Amino acid sequence: MKFLRLAPLVGMIFLAHGAIGAEAVAPAAGVLGTAAATATATAAAAAAAAAKVPNSGLDLSAFESKVRAQDDLFRAANGAWLNTASIPADKSAYGAFEQLADKSDAQVRAIIEALSAKPQKEGSTEQKIAAFYSSYLDLAAIDKAGLAPAQARLDSIAAIKSKADLAQWLGGAQGVSNLPVNLYVMADLKQPTINRALAMQGGLGLPDRDYYLKADAKLAQVRKAYLSYLITLAKLSGEAAPDQVAAQVLALETRIAKLHWSNVANRDPVKTYNPMTPAQLAKKAPGLDWSAFLKAGQLDGIDRLSVTQPSAIIGLAALVNTVPLAQWQQYLKLRVLDENARVLPQAFREAHFALHGAALTGAKEPLPRWQQGINDVNQALGEALGQVYVAEHFPPAYKARMQELVANLMAAYRDSIDGLSWMTPATKAAAREKLSKYMVKIGYPDTWRDYSGLDVRAGDAFGNSARSAAFEYQRIAQRAGKPVDRTEWGMTPQTVNAYYNPTLNEIVFPAAILQPPFFDMAADDAVNYGAIGAVIGHEISHGFDDEGSQFDGDGALRNWWTPADRKAFDAIGAKLVAQYSKYEPLPGKQLNGKLTLGENIADLSGLQIAYKAYQRSLNGEPAVVLDGIGGEQRFFLGWAQAWRYKARDEKALQLLTTDPHSPPSFRTNGAAINNDGFHQAFGTKEGDAMFKPSEQRIRIW
């Protein structure tokens, strides 16, 4: 997936979260399709205990007895779970990531409740965490306050009297609202040691431009629900003609959506890198008072910035100039109410869930209020919480074991580069150089973020949310023109995810993902390599996917390929696009192979590298048999169980429209079917659903 924090895309392992089942049973013959499957779990467990070997790490109760791995690896490993597990009412999807995220949230909740149970020094970080959380949970106070906490922001919108005022308001709301033009600061793509400002498209209330523009029955239903939601917001805020206001806001957002670049277009770092001076931008995109906008956005005096989607920004600036102020005021008012609905009275919260929960994701009820609060505190004071989380839940031995795994994966990647048949020596040398410069971050940052300047007030949920967002934006804006801090993390330790950042050429693995089913200190290495090893390999591979491969070892956007090698690489990628474009996650709706190409490359390459690393870890010795299953088979079953997942149709449609990852079942089988080790481990043959002749298998790294 991609990491989008109003910033260019950064590779991540997934969008969601998870854990593993419990009760062990004998592996079903259908799963393995071999005589080894007849061994009982009891005998295997006894043998393991006698030999003092680790457990397999597999959830045997999830196996589907009627499905062979040779026909469907994902269902063979997870079928029983898929048949019996239900998606919780407060979830739109459920699987390994979601289960593990729930566990992380519960651990963070215990930390916060422990802080709240005793008096904390006024102004201390501990006091801020407790006050932020308790204010968010105090629904009685939120309901009693009504719209009063939001009134100052609403009044500031009503006070807009000119286009210059509008530009100033849009600049001043950066970081607090999702606006038609958003500002951010990050490493310059071609000078990655220096932070530069960015201007990017935004401003939509629905997840993507396609929700406004596609002639699709399901998306049309969502548009209808969105219009109803906007009408409700207008009514609740006292608009005299709510239907008219809502219709005008939807019409304006549709005009904005028509200007937006597609998700596929946004994947091209060359086309999205467009540096210019503020004066040049003002000349190219008249209509928005860029001087007032940048000054209010705390970027006054910058020498240049990069415009991520030039045609969209030009069009959006023109809209600022041509759309009547009254319509912009209506739009901004409803945007503020939508974005803050969860800290507004009950009627706003219920309307917000009806759209963002039920209509968009299919969830039956909201997340528990405590869990919503955890999400908000993590956004506001995440590293402060993370410091305690790591001390309680991430022993030093975990980091040491992960460092060992990463070292083996990196070595396997070097070997793989050396063995490439389609790449010339010059490009191989550049690839090895890039790999040698990878920075690896495991568990938690070495330097923790300072929250002393954040103003948190007891009983002010709305204000705390707004001030924390403004505080974070100020931190980001202040780094414009300054050297990049290579120690900074883009995720908190308690986040169940991982990512690759091309401008820092780094792979990052927060502590929370380093738990079963991804990483189990007590488990045999086969499943660890199939799960967390493939995650590590996935993130390493993002540096060599169709996007990441355009950055060099120092993080600069620079072509280090020979023309022939690039052509060969693109040709292999085209085969992967064709493979995944045939998959149909929902009836009549196929995957977008171009949108998911980067993640599919990372899955394919990550699995291949992890398998090679697992073989290296055996040091020439045969893998032990655990739970009646050989090591090579456990590796691929571990890979499949890490992607255990089921989603409601509404959520599946949203991800199909917006997510650069393929759905987990296709990630599992789509990578495995091209892996020589999978075919060897399970002895696939012609007639098996997952058989693919060796000469047709797609191999990249």
Taking 60 as the threshold, does the pLDDT of residue 478 lie above it? Answer: yes
Residue 234 and residue 246 in contact, taking contact as beta carbons nearer than 8 Å: yes
Query: CA 260 to CA 314: how far, in whole Å?
Result: 11
Question: How confident is the model over 457-472, as a mean pLDDT?
Answer: 98
pLDDT band with cut points at 50, 70 and 90 for residue 13 = low
Q: What is the DSSP string of 116-142?
A: HTS---TTSHHHHHHHHHHHHH-HHHH
Give the CA distances from residue 266 to residues 84, 202, 248, 663, in Å, rounded to whole numbers and listed in that order: 39, 13, 28, 20
Residue position matching structure tokens 């072509």: 559
Question: How confident is the model over 257-265, as a mean pLDDT?
Answer: 97
pLDDT band with cut points at 50, 70 and 90 for residue 29 = very low
At 254 the pLDDT is: 98
Give per-residue pLDDT as tens, 369-414: 999 999 999 999 999 999 999 999 999 999 999 999 999 999 999 9
Question: How confident is the model over 655-671, as a mean pLDDT?
Answer: 97
At 43 the pLDDT is: 39
At 41 the pLDDT is: 36
At 11 the pLDDT is: 58
Query: CA 661 to CA 542: how far, in whole Å?
Result: 13
Q: Are strands 181-187 and 195-201 parallel, antiparallel or unpaired?
A: antiparallel
Residue position matching structure tokens 């950064």: 10
Give per-residue pLDDT as tens, 142-159: 999 999 999 999 999 999
Question: How confident is the model over 273-284, as a mean pLDDT?
Answer: 98
CA within 13 Å, CB half, 346? 6
Task: Retrieve residue 485's tokens.
Answer: 């801090």
- Measuring CA to CA, which residue among 206, 432, 494 is closest to residue 335? 206
Give per-residue pLDDT as tens, 442-456: 999 999 999 999 999
Question: How confident is the model over 459-466, as a mean pLDDT?
Answer: 98
CA within 13 Å, CB half, 307? 21
At 16 the pLDDT is: 37
Task: Retrieve residue 686's tokens.
Answer: 């012609």
pLDDT band with cut points at 50, 70 and 90 for residue 191 = very high
pLDDT band with cut points at 50, 70 and 90 for residue 12 = low
Query: CA 540 to CA 413: how far, in whole Å?
Result: 8
- In order of start, what are the domains of the chain with their CATH numbers? 9-14+35-88+394-445+489-696 (3.40.390.10), 147-369 (1.10.1380.10)
Three state DSSP letters for 451-491: CCCCCCCCCCHHHHHHHHHHHHHHHHHCCCCCECCCCCCCC
- Residue % of the chain over a pLDDT of 90: 91
Give the CA angle between residues 663, 665, 669 to the nearest 5°: 120
Give the CA distances from residue 148 to residues 177, 330, 658, in Å, rounded to whole numbers and listed in that order: 19, 18, 35
Give per-residue pLDDT as tens, 37-58: 323 333 343 344 334 457 899 9
> Residues near 253 by Cβ (< 8 Å), separated by ≥ 6?
203, 204, 205, 206, 212, 331
The C-alpha torsion from 161 through 167 and 168 to 172, rounded to 10°, is 130
Q: Which residues pair with 688 in a beta bridge?
A: 686
Query: CA 363 to CA 13: how far, in whole Å?
Result: 23
Q: In a 10 Å sphere around its CB, with 0-12 CB exposed, 13-18 middle and 19+ buried, how is residue 155 labelled? A: exposed
Question: How confident is the model over 550-570, as a mean pLDDT?
Answer: 97
Question: How confident is the model over 494-500, as a mean pLDDT?
Answer: 97
Taking 70 as the threshold, does the pLDDT of residue 490 lie above it? Answer: yes
Give per-residue pLDDT as tens, 53-68: 578 999 999 999 999 9
pTM to 2 decimals? 0.92
Pick from 47-61, 324-338, 456-470: least confident: 47-61
At 4 the pLDDT is: 29
Give per-residue pLDDT as tens, 590-622: 999 999 999 999 999 999 999 999 999 999 999
Q: Which residues pair with 671 in a beta bridge?
A: none
Query: CA 143 to CA 18: how far, in whole Å?
Result: 34
Question: How confident is the model over 296-305, as a mean pLDDT?
Answer: 96
At 678 the pLDDT is: 98
Pick from 9-13, 185-189, 279-283: least confident: 9-13
